[in-house]
Amino acid sequence: MADPERSGRTRNAANLGLLFQAVPAENMAILDLGGGEARKINYGELGRLCDAFARGLRRAGLSSGDRIAILSQNRWAYVAALFGAMRLGAVPVLVNIRLAEETIAYILDDSGAKLAFGEKPFSHLAKNVPWVDFDEGLESFFDFGEIEAAAVQADQLSMLLYTSGTTGRPKGVLLHHGGQNWAADVLTRYRRIVPADRILVSAPFYHKNAIVAIKTALLPGACLAILPRFNAKATIAAMEQHRLTMLTGVPTMMNLILREAELAEAGKSSVRVLSMGSSPASDQLLADLKATFTKAEIHLNYGSTEGGPIMFGWYHPKGLPRPLHSIGYPIPGCEWRLMNGPSSSEGELWVKNPGVAQGYLHLPEATAARFQDGWYKTGDILRHDENGWFYFVGRVDDMFVSGGENIFPQEVEALLERHPGVRQAAVIAAQHELKGMVPMAFVVRQPAAELDEASLKSYALAHGPAFAHPRRIFFIDAMPLTGTNKIDREALKALVLKELADDGRSQTRKAGA
């Protein structure tokens, strides 16, 4: 196997829209599994579709630097619009279609989008922006023929992704051609993706996880299998029918796949990589995945839209095996610092690499606060061991103080998930009269597990610090999810408030009885 640090080519000054131009035309590029019979598109056809989209933009009066918005579920047209826009030098704005209507209106206005593309159910969200429907208008929008891709500088804006906005308005992250090409090159090598791979992406295309998966599939000429949105049964059917070699997503998605009885050996045997990111994975989930997908490597990805996006690889330069929960070893070209921590091996991660974003659109103060001399302050607490393997500890913003003790929710979740009866746990902070804040937990039980609140609290007290044990534990069938398939912690906070209010009313009724 070639050394991932030394193989491959450098494309930092290239137009990102030409990412896959060197792939043989006959290679299968896309399997769109969105409905009925799969739509198959080879690389020659995909290149022609991207050119036709670029020419359509030019015919509509757009040019290099102009913004276009995409509001759609995953589909082949999304890929053509994404890379076609960049071939013209235009900037695609990838919009989270699950955000509130007023938030989407803000994104369209803030980005300066001149055209919007997508599916009919989302057309009403594109207020004051001309709309092209993927199903009814794209064929006439295409202008087939050759086009010379725009010459771009390495630091020229390539695409705009907006942060989720869970703690305020979303921020437009300025991602440039050079940085995105660098990331595609290095991550393709570290994932060791080859043309024979078939990679399923069902995470939303507007999220960085999916963008990374798309780029690392297309650059080496692998096949990108597309589902419109995540669905466990559809994923399993795709595995069995199309012999997928790589599944991508977040831990919640993998949990849901494992819960399906239809998961048969025929689909599992071809999978060689399970790639997860955005949130930690429990011991139980990792063990279940390893037992189920016996031929697969498990890659735990850490990254951020602003930071590269991925700063760690899965292979140690000395060939050391990766520990179970490690997010990896620093990729060559990625500098790092751990700041303001309790020791030199733990603290807030600052990163510097060619993929770091240029800042936030129209937000100079926010840019100055997070970006400094090429460094990006991630807001994440990490630690590393004596061999240089890194581990995620928690978000700086998520840490809370309970009776003078610092608590990271992820550490409490990891403790609970080590109980054999727990499939998944999520911990949030709630107000407390004496302690200030205390942990509250939501738990999804393992199938057929007999587990109650008292026994799980006793387990937490016996195996962890007393100050960190959850004061209440609520059992639920499944975690609420955001539009990017992460656990919706805002929804959990609302559930806690409701449960505590119900408890208060119950106690009042008892006192008055």
Average pLDDT over the chain reads 87
Task: Catalogue all structural domains in the chain, each as residue range(s) with its CATH number.
Answer: 11-23+41-190 (3.40.50.980), 400-512 (3.30.300.30)
Measured CA to CA, the distance from residue 401 to residue 435 in angstroms comes to 8
**pLDDT the model gives residue 11:** 42
For 272, 288, 298, 451, the CA distances from 291, given in Å and listed in that order, are: 13, 5, 12, 23
Q: Where are the alpha helices (DSSP H) in 166-250?
A: 177-191, 208-218, 232-242
Q: Is the pLDDT of residue 506 over 80?
A: no
Map tokens 């309790």 to a residue.
342
- Going by the DSSP 8-state scheme, the letter that residue 446 receives in this structure is P
- Find the mean pLDDT for residues 46-64: 98
Number of Cα atoms under 13 Å in the Cβ half of residue 383: 11
Please give the average per-residue pLDDT across 332-358, as a whole number: 91
Summarize the confidence of residues 206-231 as an average pLDDT. 94
Beta bridge partners of residue 445, listed in sequence order: 422
| CA dist., res. 371 & res. 167, Å (int) | 19
From the list 308, 94, 288, the residue with the least C-alpha distance to 183 is 308
At position 505, the amino acid (one-letter code) is R
- Determine phi and psi for 376, rounding to 5 degrees: -115, 130
Nearest to 156 by CA among 180, 133, 139: 180
Q: What is the model's pLDDT at position 112? A: 97
Q: pLDDT tens-digit profile of 455-468?
A: 999 998 988 888 88
Q: Bin 347: left if φ > 0, else alpha if -120 < ψ < 50, else beta.
A: left
Would you state the structure tokens that stand for residue 313, as one six-digit string?
């690889």
Please give the Cα distance from 375 to 372 (Å, whole number): 5
Q: In what order do the strands lie in the sheet with 297-300?
A: 39-42, 28-32, 223-226, 198-201, 246-249, 273-276, 297-300
Quick one: pLDDT band at residue 9, thresholds 50, 70, 90? very low
Tell me the H-state helices in 112-176.
138-141
Q: Please state the pTM of the whole predicted model.
A: 0.80
Give the separation between CA 463 and CA 276, rounded to whole angstroms: 27
